[in-house]
Structure 1
């Protein structure tokens, strides 16, 4: 069963942390409590034997063994091994979930491409959908213990309605030493081909589209089946699980509080009877390992495993509903509520209308304040212009304009402002003597007066080149 707690962590408040922490089903505490109790009992037993059951000579030997375990236990690369292993397990778990198989896509294709409302067309579409869910059930029945308990025999599939007696006979008569997952797919594709020959499918492109969606669904389930067949190497799993448990077995001795003064590292400031820090470490490391154990087979019987039976039921119900729905039953084509709005503004509830929005804005916006700039051709290391244009003169660009100085408003207010300006703008013909060349000459003169101290533009450019050469030489 899947443990859903997403609603409890909708924000990062302390209350959300408490809701997620103090759960039992699928929690860290449920995973480690049994082994933690066993470890604590073993630790307390060794501590009592050391303090009450050994003589002085035996206590020295026990202390030597504890010191040896304490010194060399840290040689085990526990963090590295667990981190890499859990990452590999999570990657497999994610891929297995993504390939679980959902019927919506191919059902929508079948419903759209197989035309007609006759009894024949309806039976064809429903059989195609049922055959695909039958294939999924056959796959999950072999890889999921939950589905296996639900359908222990092929006859139970007949009783559940996934396959009828005649189809079961055909399935049993298919002689092959391998699994027969492909048989329902072949039946579904044969029905599509038959629908095309009867004129229920418009063209061959529709047949190809339906074939592709069905084969994609089959490929997803084949991937899941292969993951079940080839897990992570057993030796890798054994190394990690054995190492974690061996580490805390060594810690039973290495983390003992000793009465002697011979080993200062093992004698703490207090003679603590309960190893609190070691227990915390045990909970975290063993809990980390339990994550991998729970995710190794997500089609198993743990609290966090996939709801496979629900997925089968959902796929059957949704698929049959999609293909069986009357294709001509669609809403009337009408004007929407925003028909007359240039920029639609949907409504909000009274509780959310005042919440500010943060639309995407470039990270560089606002970093550089607008200033007057002079745009000149780029110069190389020798101070020469790289532009070959004969009219590549410097251009003065003002930082102030009607648009840049205008206060930011909403998108709607800005749009209406622009429309009103366009409507009220007088249609005045441009003066014949005012040309782009004249405007450019005025800008050049302004640059010459303001930026170059009244010098001519070529001499100013030459000065810029000399300055660039001096900088490059330095």
Structure 2
């Protein structure tokens, strides 16, 4: 599941984000630490070879190689290549998350328009819920390795309650003739079931049937788009270019970032050192950038930032069954509430010291309780007097520009 940290930073304060640097799961350190260890080992091996093993004439050749690699590493447009690549990948990642289907809308419509409580109506609604969730499972079994391992065959779907043996036989018979994946088939069964409920008079009207059919079509669109994202990945050549550019850059930087003898007078090598701190930071930034893109290429895998599809499927099946089975049986009675005739604004506790109003001229105006003046609401003033009194005209214009966040009467 995607690592969330919003609750850890509710307010922006001094060093508020520093606590996030020490988290391990989903961090850049977890992604790049093994390769960083190999990078530093090779770097220190060449540094020890230059300092203690090479003769003087070989040191001069080593220094020339270092200068050549340094010139290459500074000329490579790595930030440009990685920036565009990561932007494309993150955009695809978010678009795929927005395409994850949710059954709430269509189940609410079914529970609303098929509101009979007889056994036949309940059976139709439960079968409808099974078909919708079966379409979800079939979709994610194609694009998610976790779901494919959890439900490798149709028999596993029967045991999990998503399918009946007769429905499995129909799908297996169709698989013998057609090789394409049949995600659409359960949704087609759901549409046929709604049409059957309408013919039996259990669905209220044709408008309800049309609304439910539109929602089913939207679910099919989401499932189809997710499969399209799986089939049409980021062009392989772009992934290869970004990966080759990153690894080539750091292979050359093993030599290009070496400390040279200051007595030789090479430009930029007037100070000697042992630990390349800026090279380590550069490695964390660039290689972490690449690792983020690699982990987000398929957000339905098993990385830390991938979506927990099993949790989605369990939630969808539970909520959809709850909606169609218990939505009408647990409906509260319409009784007179305690706030009858009162507005929400009157029931609010007064602010202790300040009130905030937002206008176009001044985004945040603070009005203390001491200087706040009582004003007559505009609704109680005759319309012909609004144009005559400057204070009402000013308040009317300000209310048209931007409404007050404390309510329409919070003048």
TM over 0.5: yes
Cα offsets for 1:33-91 (capped at 9, x unmatched): 11111100000000011111211111111100001111122221111111111111111
1:358 aligns with 2:319: no
Comparing 329-338 with 251-260, greater Cα deviation is found at 329-338
> Does the Cα contact within 8 Å between 1:298 and 1:306 map onto a contact in 2?
yes
CA gap of 1:202–1:237, structure 2 versus 1, over 3 A, is: same
CA gap of 1:330–1:366, structure 2 versus 1, over 3 A, is: closer
Cα offsets for 1:272-295 (capped at 9, x unmatched): 111011111111111111111111
Which residue of structure 2 aligns with residue 327 of structure 1? 328
Which residue of structure 2 aligns with residue 287 of structure 1? 288
Which residue of structure 1 aligns with residue 141 of structure 2? 141
Cα offsets for 1:213-247 (capped at 9, x unmatched): 01101111111111011100001011111111110
> Does the Cα contact within 8 Å between 1:256 and 1:266 map onto a contact in 2?
no
Cα offsets for 1:388-431 (capped at 9, x unmatched): xxxxxxxxxxxxxxxxxxx754xxx5347996x99xxxxxxxxx
Cα offsets for 1:361-383 (capped at 9, x unmatched): 2226999xxxxxxxxxxxxxxxx
Which residue of structure 1 aligns with residue 217 of structure 2? 215
CA gap of 1:66–1:327, structure 2 versus 1, over 3 A, is: same
Which residue of structure 2 aligns with residue 26 of structure 1? 26
Helix, strand or coil for the counterpart of 1:414? coil
CA gap of 1:35–1:356, structure 2 versus 1, over 3 A, is: farther
Which residue of structure 1 aligns with residue 399 of structure 2? none
Which residue of structure 2 aligns with residue 2 of structure 1? 2
CA gap of 1:363–1:77, structure 2 versus 1, over 3 A, is: same
Helix, strand or coil for the counterpart of 1:345? helix
Helix, strand or coil for the counterpart of 1:358? strand
Counterpart Cα distance in 1 of 2:195 and 2:26:
47
Residue 117 of structure 1: CA displacement?
0.5
Which residue of structure 2 aligns with residue 402 of structure 1? none
CA gap of 1:416–1:185, structure 2 versus 1, over 3 A, is: closer
> Does the Cα contact within 8 Å between 2:358 and 2:364 map onto a contact in 1?
no
CA gap of 1:92–1:168, structure 2 versus 1, over 3 A, is: same
Residue 327 of structure 1: CA displacement?
2.1
Counterpart Cα distance in 1 of 2:223 and 2:8:
32
Which residue of structure 2 aligns with residue 448 of structure 1? none
Counterpart Cα distance in 1 of 2:262 and 2:55:
13
Which residue of structure 2 aligns with residue 374 of structure 1? none
Cα offsets for 1:403-462 (capped at 9, x unmatched): xxxx754xxx5347996x99xxxxxxxxxxxxx9xxxxxxxxxxxxxxxxxxxxxxxxxx
> How many residues are treated as equivalent by the alignment?
376
> Does the Cα contact within 8 Å between 1:114 and 1:121 map onto a contact in 2?
yes
CA gap of 1:417–1:75, structure 2 versus 1, over 3 A, is: closer
Which residue of structure 2 aligns with residue 123 of structure 1? 123
CA RMSD of aligned residues (A): 2.4
Relative contact order: is structure 1 or structure 2 higher (C-alpha 8 Å, sep ≥ 6)?
A: 2
Residue 263 of structure 1: CA displacement?
4.8
CA gap of 1:252–1:195, structure 2 versus 1, over 3 A, is: same
Aligned runs of 1:291-306 on 2, under 5 Å? Answer: 291-306=292-307
Gaps of 5+ in 1: 368-406, 423-435, 437-474
> Does the Cα contact within 8 Å between 1:257 and 1:266 map onto a contact in 2?
no
Comparing 356-365 with 7-16, greater Cα deviation is found at 356-365
Residue 346 of structure 1: CA displacement?
4.0
Identify, as 1 or 2, the structure richer in helix.
Answer: 2
Counterpart Cα distance in 1 of 2:155 and 2:75:
56
Counterpart Cα distance in 2 of 1:15 and 1:281:
22
Counterpart Cα distance in 2 of 1:177 and 1:262:
70
Cα offsets for 1:335-390 (capped at 9, x unmatched): 33432335633445xxx9537453432226999xxxxxxxxxxxxxxxxxxxxxxx
Gaps of 5+ in 2: 366-370, 383-387, 389-411
